[in-house]
Every structure is written in C-alpha cells, then in structure tokens.
C-alpha cells in the first residue's frame, strides 16, 4: 500500500545513509523502523496483567486457595498475633 511521508532533510539523510550501509532500499528501512516503533508502542499499552502474566502462578508455598480466601487467611494470621515487628 503506497504511503507518502514528508521528511525533514536531517531525517532523510539518516534514512539514506542507513539504507546504503545496510544494502537496503529506503522503503525497507522506513518499513522496519515503523514496525519496530509500533511494536514498542503496543508493548507499552499492555495491561498490568499482560505485563506480569509470566510471573503469575510462579510463586511456591502458601495455601493454594489464597487468592480466593484472602480474608480467611488474614483473619487467621491476626488471631495468632503474628504482626509485623516494625
């Protein structure tokens, strides 16, 4: 799909030089740069869950139903008198 982009002289020189150094066309350099930029932008738009997805469920120990019964375990903890010594 054709797309016209107006570049300032400095950016045009950078694209031209990069294309020559890599043996690519200016279009290839611009496509790769846009693809990388868009991928980085999409990465920053991830939800907190998506960012921590590989960590969720990776902790060992503790009750297996902690996430569903937090209140129960906190109350048990408080009843036993185990408070943070700070």
Range of the domain at 56: 1-86
Residue 82 pLDDT more than 60?
A: no
Confidence of residue 85 (pLDDT cuts 50, 70, 90): low
Residues 61 and 73: beta-carbon distance below 8 Å: no
Tell me the pTM. Answer: 0.51
- In the DSSP assignment, the letter for residue 38 is H
Longest dimension (CA), the chain: 72
Q: Helix count (H) and strand count (E) of the chain?
A: 4, 0
* pLDDT tens readout for residues 9-66: 999 999 999 999 999 999 999 999 999 999 988 877 888 888 888 888 767 778 888 8
- Helix or strand run (H / E) with residue 70: helix 70-79
User: Domain count of the chain?
Assistant: 1
Q: For tokens 């790769």, what's the residue?
A: 32
């Amino acid at each position: 799909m054709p797309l016209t982009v107006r570049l300032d002289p400095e950016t045009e020189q950078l694209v031209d030089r990069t294309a020559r150094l890599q043996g690519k066309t200016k279009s290839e350099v611009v496509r790769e740069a846009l693809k990388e930029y868009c991928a980085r932008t999409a990465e920053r738009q991830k939800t907190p869950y998506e960012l921590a997805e590989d960590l969720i469920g990776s902790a060992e120990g503790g009750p297996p139903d902690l996430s569903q019964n937090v209140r129960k375990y906190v109350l048990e903890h408080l009843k036993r008198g185990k408070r943070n010594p700070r």
